[in-house]
Amino acid sequence: MAAKSNPTVRRRRLGAELRRLRVASGLKSVEVAERLMVSQPKISHLENGNRAISPRDVRDLCAIYEVTDQQVIDSLTEMARESGGRGWWHTYGDLSDSVYIGLETDAASLHTHAPMVVPDLLQTPAYAQAVIEETIPRLTAEQAATRLKVRLRRQHRIYAPACPLRLWAVLDESVLRRVVGGPDVMREQLEHLKALSAEPHVRVQVLPHTAGAHPGLSGQFSILRFADGPEAGVVYLERFASDLYLEKPSDVENYGVIHDHLRTLALTPDSSRDLITDTTKTYIDAPTRP
């Protein structure tokens, strides 16, 4: 899906451009808020892409920033119109990770490090259901079912015939050993993981325990890059209460270096498939968990 049709990505890129124009004008966000007679948090939300912005607001901001190039103004105004749309995920209600889903839907590539569980896009339905039900306290059956539907819908990016997502995942060996949902679920999951890793656009590498200490010990992270602006990537850090999005080029570059380092420490894709196969055998005839 092109960025032009994705309101989330469009909104965030528009916000980044408006922030750039404000900084170039020498104005602080509180000063801009005073001139527009709005609250300072609104300016921050607009620049962070957390809320839609109207074409009129864009024109007013361009006037404050003394932007005189009509082509630039028209381009930003058009982005504002497109950012007001709604993605497919909004049909499932108010999702806590809707911002990430919007970015993932539009991404051309995803490099991720998974130290605990199989990445969402590579999970089987049974494994995904077990992860959702066993890791989120006080989740109702209806909420769990909605989360599962959304997760399986997100996986369409892996199978998109025209432009499948290029995915490179580095998994800690603990991901293969941690029994999620029981032996039968794990056996099915590892077989699925092995099959997907053979796809030309999917690479899976396992970081063995023998690798020792490494930069990935700080936790899970994902780097998303986009076809129409691969240099403007986003680092996603998933947290229980509040996710983090890092968009500074230096942050994206640093996490890219970390991912490269982890790939060097990890087993090759072929050796990783061999380890996945060997680990799968340990779940055959294993006692089923109550």
Q: Do residues 30 and 108 lie in contact, with contact meaning Cβ atoms separated by under 8 Å?
A: no
Q: Digits of tens for pLDDT over the chain (290 positions)?
A: 333 445 666 777 788 888 889 999 998 989 988 988 888 888 887 887 767 788 888 899 999 999 888 888 888 888 787 766 667 777 877 777 888 888 898 889 999 999 999 999 999 999 999 999 999 888 999 999 999 999 999 999 998 888 899 999 999 999 999 999 999 999 999 999 999 999 999 999 999 999 999 999 989 999 999 876 555 688 999 877 678 888 888 999 999 999 999 999 999 999 999 999 999 999 987 776 55
Domain count for the chain = 2
Residue ranges making up the domain that contains 60: 3-85
8 Å CB contact between 272 and 206 = yes
3-class DSSP state of 221? strand
Query: What is the C-alpha to C-alpha distance for residues 199 and 169, in angstroms, rounded to an integer?
Result: 13
**Domain annotation covers residue 287:** no
Looking at the fold, whether 101 and 155 belong to one and the same domain comes out as yes
**Which pLDDT score is estimated for 140?**
92
- Whether 143 and 246 map to the same domain: the answer is yes
Last residue of a domain, which of 85, 117, 146?
85
Tell whether 102 is covered by a domain. Answer: yes
In a domain, 26, yes or no: yes
CATH of the domain at 68: 1.10.260.40
C-alpha to C-alpha distance for 22 and 29, rounded to whole angstroms: 8
- Tell me if 197 sits within 8 A of 231, measured CB to CB: no
Residues 128 and 244 in one domain: yes
φ, ψ of residue 52 in degrees (nearest 5): -70, 155
Residues 150 and 244 both lie in one domain: yes
Same-domain status, 149 and 55: no
Domain closes at, from 34, 55, 85: 85
175 within domain boundaries: yes
**Does residue 158 sit in the same domain as residue 35?**
no
pLDDT at 2: 37
**Residue 77 and residue 144 in one domain:** no
Do 29 and 171 lie in a common domain?
no
In a domain, 213, yes or no: yes
Looking at the structure, do residues 58 and 195 belong to the same domain, yes or no? no
Does residue 290 lie in a domain region? no
What 3-state DSSP class applies to 290?
coil
pTM equals: 0.78
How far is residue 260 CA from its own chain's centroid?
A: 18
Which H helix or E strand runs over 245?
strand 244-246
Judge if 67 and 182 occupy the same domain: no
The answer to whether residues 147 and 58 belong to one domain is no
What pLDDT is attached to residue 289?
59
Asked if 174 and 245 sit in the same domain, the reply is yes
Give me the residue label for tokens 């404050």: 64
**pLDDT tens profile 128-171:** 999 999 998 889 999 999 999 999 999 999 988 888 999 999 99
Q: Which of 258, 278, 122 is nearest to 203 (CA)?
A: 122
206 inside domain: yes
**What are the backbone dihedrals phi and psi of residue 221, each rounded to the nearest 5 degrees, phi first?**
-155, 155
Name every residue whose Cβ is closer than 8 Å to that of residue 272 and which is 6 or more positions away in sequence: 171, 197, 204, 205, 206, 266
Domain boundary among 85, 104, 132: 85
What is the domain-level CATH number for residue 230?
A: 3.30.870
Residue 29 placed within a domain = yes
